[in-house]
Chains A and B, each alone.
Chain A
């Protein structure tokens, strides 16, 4: 199984979970059907012209109908965003296999899960809504609830215990490490340049190679650069995890982010940045580190609020080997690789596990707050939206591309604060993909259908699709696709003692042949040629019987022949040996030598020679021996 991401957009259908009691959210009117029946009013609430489910938020799990997940042997994880559904798989499906991921992926993935669990568990909600999921009722609901798919499979968040159990099934791997999977294939993670520890995977046998390219980036940000060279010579390249916002250039967006941030703060407003606790935030803090002095923002406090803020900031500094070269070299200076250490030292950046506690006493405005969750449905961000939403001086800047910002904002309307959408998605865009594919030249590309056509809203943008030769094979949800290659060869090892016994014969310059008699031993998809057991010495009755059962019959082998018969010389030889009246006829495949007197016919073709004579075995043997003189035996 390649990755197991969690679709969190389902949470957008739920009411936000306020950390502090919100009179607005707790007094929303219940929603009733057109006919006035109000049996759903406990589950569904009307807020700002939209209908939301008033319940603990639920997530949409990976597809489970198509395949029995208990039969999955291995899960390969690309990056920490692509493992958020892991506890659902490992804990509830009978999965008994192994999960492979790099260390930063696991550690930061753990932080993301811990944050998620924490955000949801610290606002306990007794109510769980399920009535609305009834298909007959769902049909009657307004959009987008009406159109939500697979609602019956939506699940509440996992617990920390499940997280720990899931993570314990992960086997840590390093870049370029070769991992044997049951002897059948070898898998190797490669740096993908997108996030700390993010990987692409090579899955290869001795004769076939499949590359799985997930979230990758060619931009120079904090992680180790993408390893492109190792992707060369792939039979199939499975391509996914491209940028979600191909029209937004990350550099331009960072500039936009900084400008809007400065503009707001200079006017005395506060800036709210809903974000994940790891990833782009490191780059944003680095940009701000360079920018704040030039923008005269040195006195503005930056707050990073997350249950895992401290761990995230500290983890980032210790994964030196997973960082880009510049940052790696800083470790030897010694300096912290990321400048946010200096921001913390100089008190410009402060981090808190929650807005309760120390934060409330340190809190100073105007300020910039980085906090989760980007869906605006849970986490400390809900409080800041409620607090700052009423003033037009304040700004919320969306940088994470995973959620539609308009949908995220829906339960907070009407909103006076400014909203800026600067999605920063450093993953590959289509131009970069084109260059990558030209460089790597896979025989076939397999990708989601959406990548093979321009976005529906911009149908003229031919540049917003994958352009490669041969055209990419696309797949859609729940489609079964046969990869365009067949396994035709297996590699077989030969034992040294058997190899020693071989006597190769050169049949052409540079090509030698040898016959081999051996036992083919196959175990765990490994094939080994072993020396055949010596013929059993005749001994006791029982033993001999058993031995003869075990040992395969080793017939005395006839020698193999090779070479070709030069017709003219052959005719001369025949004449020397007393044959006369010889005729040679050319045929499509070779020649026919006619010995008219002897009423015999010799058919010489590329791969066979037939002597056809009328019951004269002596003559046949004589002729055969003459033929054999021209051939090599081994």
Chain B
């Protein structure tokens, strides 16, 4: 600890011990604790206490009967734990009887302060920090802490209860680590008394009839098997396994969720050899005993396991598929297996679960779809993957939700009535359908997929979120649709679909609901980016009204829609898909898209459209868009001038991105920082360096970058700094521009920059000569600036000294107020 802090510490301890000066902000106490942890991790706690006796005084002081705030008491308990984590310091505190007085019956445990959850939490966390060495175990046994922890497992505060469970696991693990002389016995009877006590408690809880106690025991075990992988855990599992299995005999299975967690954590534990412990049998049993909702979670967990018997995997997958099999069977036109599950057909339990209540049905279906969606991209997913029946199930669900399916059975009709108009299932099914596009399916099913997607996109009843999902799923299916051999264009079926889709998109772009217009535009952008260069797509798009409508949405009243329209128009224009507006009914439409976007950049009141314009312009510059190539300098100058004055920092940052692209085009790309990257032969700059720099000067790039360098928003300043450093590196080798022609210019620029830095940016730099710019760049400490910018903004205020001063100052202010009152 540095001397300044040591000096401040006694005053702070005095303040903390004074009940008349309450610490209002307890984040300070957290920071203080963090600081002490850092100190004790780096050095001796004992030394710290000896050098700063005020700390022990504080700990002693909190024990006096007084009206001390529960926060300070909790802090003191935790602090004691931090110090006592080192065994010598533990002994030191033991000598002073401080530990039993803080953590034993005589301490807060028996007092009124114990009613505050924060004190109970502090007590647990203190013990958690302290329990690091064998001495601590003896201490815990002596002061009867373990019994208290048992009771805290059922605490009314969830945080306390959870921390108590974790502490038990920690103590168990610590006691099993045992003395240094050797590993603990693998016979449970020979385990240390503390471990036996905890295991005994767990056993008792597992035998209990009260679900909360069973849940606590299962949670402790789950944490144990997740964190400890020593051989003794296997002994523990062998011992407890019959008790856990016995839970399955109860109806309903108690604490099913915790049981699933436990079984999965055991199955994942590398310390256990699953086959020898009867785990697979228990898992199989559990799968068949739990309700479909609970079993679904377990099934997913089992399928994610790396090594697992094939039969169990098959059983788990069947459980996962059951609800969908049920749906398929309920809606099947004729008898026979649905194709999803041949042997089980539709399990009656699942059917019972699905039909009686809408909430249960929707919940189970959404969960199943989400689980299958998670499973699909995994390498260990079941093989063969029933792609076709799953596609069928997703399509059927979507049809049922729309009421467009025609189920033959009563169950199907009931299901239809439950699911009709259900947005949750629609969203889940569309997400799932989109994910299924990673695989192909039989052509007739794919036709059905596109038909149902079109139905959703067309339906006036589709909610905006459902529509967005339908657009996303459609795009994914279009991406996966087959290509005509030998041609990268869309195949004829897809083109037919596209011709049906575009009128729908047209209508959606005119929707009164802005979210729908927005998703429509995003979809259009995605499609254009992907297929904009392909003849079939271009032809269909140009034959529709979509480009013209998109252009009109640039003037939409909703800023998000304007932003999406800007992006879409940028994309359309890049692909040459913009229809020049013409005709007398479009007054003022003669101006080009570039002009319109510039207009948005300079006048739009919202940030999103302006940011979108900057992104489009940057992309255009990168792609050498026709509108830009004509007079790139004028374009860049115009954009930078407008962007530099923007109030939105993201627009200014994007301006720097555009400047960087221009700079690279003038001077060549930067050298790759990656040592293994393939470096292309150093390309000659686009023109002689002088000319390039003159061009940069003409577009006033330097003025823009220098202003950005002193920007009040750090990301802008950082970006500008990087850009100028790049420029300096690029020009370093140039000999022709070493000396400025007239040094007075340099001085005046530097003076102006000084004023800018001070906040006065009124004065422009005027026309700059490349030599002057280079001289200024060389004279600037850009590296230093970059270092300063890289520091977080509170790096000065984050020091421990500052923390202590702040805490004292806060109390000081309180004191002054108190004086004022007199």
- Chain A positions near chain B (C-beta within 8 angstroms): 247-249, 252-256, 258-260, 262-263, 266-268, 287, 290-291, 293-296, 422, 458, 460-463
Contacts and interface: CB of A to CB of B under 8 A. Distances in A.
Contacts of A248: 460
B513 interface: yes
B413 A460 contact: yes
Contact of B512 (A255, A266, A296, A460): A255
| Interface residues of B, dominant DSSP | loop
A258 B511 contact: yes
Given A294-B557, A462-B417, A463-B417, A247 B511 contact: no
Nearest to A247: B403
B416 A462 contact: yes
A266 B403 contact: no
Given A255-B512, A259-B510, A268-B585, A294 B556 contact: yes
Interface residues of B, number: 32
Given A252-B462, A255-B460, 17 more contacts: A247-B403, A249-B461, A254-B512, A255-B513, A259-B507, A266-B510, A294-B514, A294-B558, A296-B552, A296-B555, A458-B403, A460-B406, A460-B408, A461-B413, A463-B416, A463-B417, A463-B420
B459 A252 contact: yes
Nearest to A254: B512
B304 interface: no
Most chain B beta-carbon contacts within 10 A, residue among A253, A296, A458, A460 = A460
Nearest to A248: B460
B812 to A, nearest CB: 55
B127 to A, nearest CB: 56
Interface in B397-453: 403, 405-408, 412-414, 416-417, 420
A248 B512 CA distance: 18
Interface string B505-519: 011101111100000
Contacts of B37: none
The 9 closest A-B pairs by CB, nearest first: A252-B460, A262-B510, A256-B460, A252-B461, A259-B510, A258-B512, A463-B417, A294-B557, A259-B507
Contacts of B508: 259
B512 A461 contact: no
B555 A287 contact: no
Interface in B494-513: 506-508, 510-513
Contacts of A294: 512, 514, 556-558
B548 interface: yes
A254 B261 CA distance: 49
A534 to B, nearest CB: 72
Given A255-B511, A255-B512, A462 B548 contact: no
16 contacts: A249-B461, A253-B460, A254-B512, A255-B512, A256-B507, A258-B512, A259-B512, A260-B510, A263-B507, A263-B545, A266-B510, A266-B545, A266-B552, A267-B548, A296-B552, A460-B413
B246 interface: no
Contact of A460 (B412, B552, B555, B556): B412
Contacts of A287: 512
A460 B462 CA distance: 21
Contact of A291 (B407, B512, B552): B512
Contacts of A267: 545, 548
B1 interface: no
B788 interface: no
Contacts of B417: 461-463
A612 B508 CA distance: 96
B549 interface: yes
B327 to A, nearest CB: 14
B581 to A, nearest CB: 11
B818 to A, nearest CB: 52
Contacts of A255: 460, 511-513
B405 A460 contact: yes
Contacts of A259: 507-508, 510-512
Given A259-B512, A460-B412, A266 B460 contact: no
A254 B412 CA distance: 31
Given A296-B555, A422-B460, A460-B416, A263 B510 contact: yes
* Residue among B403, B510, B548 with max Cβ neighbours from chain A (10 Å): B510
A267 B510 CA distance: 12
A518 B413 CA distance: 64
Given A258-B512, A291-B512, A460-B405, A266 B548 contact: yes
A531 B398 CA distance: 75
Most buried by A among B416, B511, B545, B555: B511
Given A252-B460, A268-B585, A294-B558, A461 B403 contact: yes
Contacts of B545: 263, 266-267
Contact of A295 (B413, B416, B462, B510): B510
A280 B126 CA distance: 70
B801 to A, nearest CB: 57
Contacts of B552: 266, 296
A216 to B, nearest CB: 21
A184 to B, nearest CB: 42
A107 to B, nearest CB: 31
B585 A295 contact: no
Contacts of A422: 460
A260 B507 contact: yes
Interface string B551-587: 0100111100000000000000000000000000100
Contacts of A296: 552, 555-556
A262 B548 CA distance: 13
B410 to A, nearest CB: 9
A34 B158 CA distance: 88
Contacts of A290: 512
A454 B412 CA distance: 15
Contacts of B414: 462
Nearest to B412: A460
Interface string B447-489: 0000000000001111000000000000000000000000000
Contacts of A262: 510
A258 B585 contact: no
A176 to B, nearest CB: 35
Contacts of B507: 256, 259-260, 263
A417 B394 CA distance: 37
Nearest to A291: B512
A91 B696 CA distance: 92
Contacts of B461: 249, 252
With most chain A CB atoms within 10 A of its CB, the pick from B417, B459, B549, B555 is B417
Contacts of B412: 460
A462 B557 CA distance: 42
A267 B552 CA distance: 11
Contacts of B558: 294
A255 B515 CA distance: 13
Nearest to B458: A256
A379 to B, nearest CB: 27
A249 B545 CA distance: 27
B405 to A, nearest CB: 7
A497 B405 CA distance: 73
A248 B460 CA distance: 8
B510 A462 contact: no
Nearest to B583: A268
Given A287-B512, A295-B512, A422-B460, A263 B506 contact: yes
B460 A461 contact: no
Contacts of A247: 403
Contacts of A463: 403, 416-417, 420
A296 B562 CA distance: 13
Contacts of B556: 294, 296
A247 B403 CA distance: 9
Contact of B416 (A249, A254, A461): A461
Contacts of B557: 293-294
A263 B557 CA distance: 17
Nearest to B418: A463
A270 to B, nearest CB: 13
A175 B412 CA distance: 44
